[in-house]
């Protein structure tokens, strides 16, 4: 069965950096695009970033463009999100999700909490 397990969350000061990881199993990782989606406390879902199955294209929400970088390691079946210049408004639970048809998210991880605070 598909499993997505995020890690790397924690507390970081404004302006700091953090790298999130998402270990994937139960499907052919190299055949599917992958997403990061976040949810601020008490708020709704916000798409953050997408990487194509072959890593050839990456897309970012305007709110994180230039600060966040999505990447993937096929040898480790792992998705990453490098987050730099973090702001208080980046505080959220970050989920990784598997792509289906390039349009929607068919499996989600359990999420990892990132708190940006001094």
Partner 1 sequence: SYELTQPLSVSVALGQTARITCGGNNIGSKIVHWYQQKPGQAPVLVIYRDSNRPSGIPERFSGSNSGNTATLTISRAQAGDEADYYCQVWDTSTNWVFGGGTKLTVL
By rule CB under 8 A, what string of x and - marks binding of each residue 54-83 to partner 1?
-----x-x----------------------
Query: What are the b/e assignments for 71-104, b being 16+ CB within 10 Å?
Result: ebeeeebbbbbebeebeeebbbbbbbbbbeeeee
Say how many residues touch partner 1, by CB under 8 A: 21
Q: Does 113 bind partner 1 (CB under 8 A)?
A: no
Q: How far is the CB of 15 from partner 1 (least distance, A)?
A: 27
> Is 89 in a helix, a strand, or coil?
helix
> Which alpha helices (H) appear in the chain, and where do they start and end?
none
Name the residues that contact partner 1, by CB under 8 A.
35, 44-47, 50, 59, 61, 95, 100-111
């Amino acid at each position: 069965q598909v499993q997505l397990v995020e890690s790397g969350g924690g507390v970081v000061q404004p302006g700091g950096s953090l790298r999130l990881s998402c270990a994937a199993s139960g499907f052919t990782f190299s055949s599917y695009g992958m997403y990061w989606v976040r949810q601020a406390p008490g708020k709704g879902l916000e798409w953050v970033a997408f990487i194509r199955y072959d890593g050839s294209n990456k897309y970012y929400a305007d709110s994180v463009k230039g600060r966040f970088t999505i990447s993937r390691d096929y040898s480790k079946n792992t998705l990453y999100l490098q987050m730099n210049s973090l702001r208080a408004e980046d505080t959220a639970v970050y989920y990784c999700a598997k792509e289906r048809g390039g349009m929607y998210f068919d499996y989600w991880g359990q999420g990892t909490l990132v708190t940006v605070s001094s």
